[in-house]
Amino acid sequence: MLCIAAITFILGQGRAFSAEEKVKPLKPVPKAYANKNMPKGWWTDLEIIEEGKKIFETTVLEYEFKRKTRTAKEGCATCHGINPQKDRPKKRGSPDFRIGERVNRFSDSYWFWRVSEGVAKTRMPGWKEKLTEAEIWKVIAYQHTWSHGNKPAIHDHKEIEHSTQK
């Protein structure tokens, strides 16, 4: 089974989920983020999406990455931007937001939590100290278009996982 998953990953250039990823549920959203939702109409608002694109491409954050004990100065596009030669995100291991199977699972609150707080034991820093809530939502609205052929779409998918910490 592991060999099939590895082959799927290699042949799909990281664009396909392995068998293990398909069934692994997302972590529960902390209570502090449980009621966070995209502002009404923003999923499809072209102006909001364009502002999110600008933030995604230009905003950088200086942070200490503890596993490497060095300071990094990076932005969203540094890791999640697409490397055209390899047709995958620039930093190996960064989620590819073009994959609907991945993005369609994220509830609004889950996505907002991960951007705000970052992801432990990864290079993904928290952005809540650098960006306002509105700016975070704009970036999320922009990222969401990637899984819909770079077109605005309502984020109302049957695959969305709703789970909060108790």
CATH at residue 42: 1.10.760.10
The amino acid sitting at 45 is: D
Domain assignment of residue 92, yes or no = yes
Domain assignment of residue 141, yes or no = yes
Domain assignment of residue 159, yes or no = no
Total tally of structural domains belonging to the chain: 1
pLDDT reported for residue 8: 35
Report pTM: 0.80
Residue predicted with more confidence, 68 or 52: 52
SS3 of 59, please?
Answer: coil
pLDDT reported for residue 10: 34
Domain assignment of residue 21, yes or no = no
**pLDDT tens digits along 75-129:** 888 889 888 888 898 988 888 999 998 889 999 999 999 999 999 888 888 999 9
Rounded-to-10 torsion of CA 50, 102, 78, 153: -10
- Report the chain's C-alpha Rg in angstroms: 16
Domain assignment of residue 161, yes or no = no
Range of the domain at 130: 26-146
Domain assignment of residue 123, yes or no = yes
DSSP 109-165: HHHHHHHHH--TTSS----TTTS-HHHHHHHHHHHHHHTTTTS------TT----B-
Q: Which residue has the tokens 């108790």?
A: 166
Domain assignment of residue 72, yes or no = yes
Domain assignment of residue 45, yes or no = yes
